[in-house]
Amino acid sequence: MKQILQLLITIIFLGNSAFAESVLEGTVKNGNAEPLQGAVVVIKGSSAFSVADSNGHFSLKTPAKLPFTLIVSLVGHQRQEVKIEELPAAPLKIT
């Protein structure tokens, strides 16, 4: 009986930890407010990343622990780091 209870507790804990992640959405645009398709948005120090679509939109799962830094890069453009102190209510805009 103890083994069954431990298994259930583990499953419940893992399920709850999955809900700790949030989704960060936003757009990447250049100085002329044009979307940058193919821009790569990475959470610094992790393997979490997203590639901006034709509208510059990206979406990625974020770690539960704040703050973290996003690294935004695209060939032919200067790499940019953006520190996220709290998750924004509206989509993030990076130019």
pLDDT digits (tens, 9 = 90+) for 47-84: 889 999 999 888 888 776 788 888 899 888 888 888 88
Tell me the three-class secondary structure of 13-69, residue by residue: HHHHHHCCCEEEEEEEECCCCCECCCCEEEECCCCCEEECCCCCEEEEEECCCCCEE
Lowest mean pLDDT among 35-39, 57-61, 79-83, 90-94: 90-94
β-bridge mates for residue 92, sequence order: 26
Does the pTM of the predicted model rise above 0.85? Answer: no
Mean pLDDT over all residues of the chain? 75
Cβ partners under 8 Å of residue 44, min gap 6: 68, 69, 70, 71, 81
